[in-house]
């Protein structure tokens, strides 16, 4: 089913969408719209989806400067507000890209996103990756930046201090991390003046990250889950033969059939009932992806059956951020339990 019936459909009441409470007391809608069109959906199409999504009831939008569409998304956000949705009803996230970690770049980068998104403040600003490693958009996974660096905590904290200043300046209501691991987060929690309010991380039935998920919740950090459907539209360069597709899992498909919904809806219901905030990208199915959380929840048995589907199958491996020849992508994710040494 696609969104073609939007104009005839009754909007989903934003009040029917669960909310997540952050440690500041602020609340965030527990489903957001991803806006990364990758290389197959144009900025204009994403901007159109943002308009349509707001019309059907979305209030949470996950943006980033590196998605190269913030000016177009910003025009939609302005229209949405002119059409009567107050700024306070929206939850807008943006992210600091890897080439802007230097102390002098953080404020300018945030201001640029604010200008592009036509906003006075962001609800949430994330450090997109813990590595300051730049790569050209659309490059091959074997591409490496000559001056790529490992995670250096002192450097990350210099960036984080600037993120904290954005909160002090009122430009940003919350700050957060993305693509982090437990060993890195431990250090950030030890040293932060303003602790992260969320951690954005890959989460879907085949990649549940149970330890990190528990860790962030126990530390008062909300998990936002990206690629909640297993990113079926990601480019070839981001695929490996080991990758699996949660929406094709027979257990997910059987549950979908029982509920009379598509497998994507099962992934989203599971995510919301488990306690994370999924941010599915869609230009064609966004209505279904919101509506599915307002009715017919999964049973406890179904939730347990999905918990057993975890295959530790990371889809966004981040190979382009590696800093040494001969490394494999696992080095980015501290799989030994320690921060991978330089
Ligand atoms: N922090 C980070 O480092 C990071 C990394 C990756 C992604 N993200 C964020 O997470 C968002 C979501 O991730 P993603 O876009 O990679 O993957 P995703 O949300 O798992 O999958 C999106 C794909 O699923 C399709 N789809 C959506 N709903 C569907 C439905 N109900 N039935 C069938 N197909 C459906 C979409 O196609 P249609 O458009 O045709 O519906 C699109 O091709 C991104 O847009 C971005 O905002 C963040």
pLDDT averaged per 10 residues, the chain (length 342): 56 96 98 95 98 98 98 98 98 98 98 98 99 80 81 98 98 98 98 98 98 98 98 89 97 98 98 98 98 98 98 95 92 96 92
Compute the distance between CA of residue 217 and CA of residue 152 in angstroms, rounded to an integer.
25
Q: Contact 14/89 with Cβ under 8 angstroms?
A: yes
CA of 154 to the centre of ligand 1 (A): 33
Judge if pTM exceeds 0.85. Answer: yes
The number of the ligand 1 atom at minimal distance from the alpha carbon of 201 is 1
Q: Contact 12/1 with Cβ under 8 angstroms?
A: no
Is the four-CA dihedral 42, 43, 46, 52 of positive or negative sign?
Answer: negative
> Is any atom of ligand 1 closer than 6 Å to the C-beta of 38?
no
CA of 282 to the centre of ligand 1 (A): 6
Q: Which of 282, 313, 316, 317 best tests ligand 1's pocket when mutated (most atoms within 8 Å of CB)?
A: 282
> Is any atom of ligand 1 closer than 6 Å to the C-beta of 199?
no
Compute the distance between CA of residue 324 and CA of residue 104 in angstroms, rounded to an integer.
27
Q: What is the pLDDT of residue 139?
A: 76
> Is any atom of ligand 1 closer than 6 Å to the C-beta of 61?
no
- The H or E element containing residue 165 is helix 153-168
Q: Which of 46, 230, 231, 249 best tests ligand 1's pocket when mutated (most atoms within 8 Å of CB)?
A: 231
> Is any atom of ligand 1 closer than 6 Å to the C-beta of 178?
yes
CA of 239 to the centre of ligand 1 (A): 15
Provide the b/e sequence for 206-228 (b: ≥16 CB within 10 Å): bbbbeebbebbeeeebbbbbbbb
Q: What is the pLDDT of residue 187?
A: 98
CA of 281 to the centre of ligand 1 (A): 3
Query: Which residues participate in catalysis according to the annotation?
Result: 67
Nearest residue (by CA) to ligand 1, atom 4, is 226
Q: Which phi and psi (to 5°) does residue 124 adopt?
A: -150, 135
Q: Contact 33/57 with Cβ under 8 angstroms?
A: no
> Is any atom of ligand 1 closer than 6 Å to the C-beta of 289?
yes
CA of 147 to the centre of ligand 1 (A): 31
Q: What is the pLDDT of residue 147?
A: 84
């Amino acid at each position: 089913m696609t969104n073609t019936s939007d104009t005839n459909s009754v909007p989903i009441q934003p009040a029917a969408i669960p909310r997540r409470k952050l440690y500041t007391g602020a609340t965030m809608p527990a489903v957001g719209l991803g806006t990364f069109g990758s290389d197959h959906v144009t900025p204009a199409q994403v901007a159109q989806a943002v308009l349509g999504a707001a019309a059907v009831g979305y209030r949470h939008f996950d943006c980033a400067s590196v998605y190269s569409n913030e000016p177009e998304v910003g025009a939609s956000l302005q229209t949405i507000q002119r059409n009567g949705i107050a700024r306070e009803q929206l939850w807008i996230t943006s992210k600091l890209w890897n080439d802007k970690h230097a102390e002098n770049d953080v404020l300018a980068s945030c201001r640029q996103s604010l200008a592009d998104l036509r906003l006075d403040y962001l609800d949430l600003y994330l450090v997109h990756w813990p590595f300051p490693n730049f790569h050209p958009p659309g490059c091959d996974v074997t591409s490496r930046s000559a001056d790529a660096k490992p995670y250096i905590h002192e450097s990350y904290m210099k960036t984080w201090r600037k993120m904290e200043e954005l909160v002090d300046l009122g430009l940003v209501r919350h700050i957060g991390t993305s693509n982090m691991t437990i060993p890195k987060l431990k250090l950030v929690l030890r040293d932060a003046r303003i602790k992260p309010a969320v951690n954005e991380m890959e989460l879907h039935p085949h990649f549940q990250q149970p330890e990190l998920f528990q860790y962030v919740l126990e530390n008062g950090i909300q998990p936002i889950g990206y690629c909640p459907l297993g990113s079926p539209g990601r480019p070839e360069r981001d695929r490996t033969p080991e990758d699996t597709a949660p929406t094709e899992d027979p257990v997910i498909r059987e549950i979908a059939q029982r509920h009379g919904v598509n497998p994507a809806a099962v992934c989203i219901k599971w995510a919301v009932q488990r306690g994370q905030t999924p941010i599915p990208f869609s230009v064609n199915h966004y209505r279904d992806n919101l509506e599915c959380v307002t009715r017919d929840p999964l049973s406890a048995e179904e939730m347990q059956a999905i918990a057993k589907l975890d295959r530790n199958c990371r889809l966004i491996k981040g190979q382009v951020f590696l800093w040494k020849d001969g490394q494999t992508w696992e080095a980015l994710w501290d799989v030994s339990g320690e921060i991978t040494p330089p």
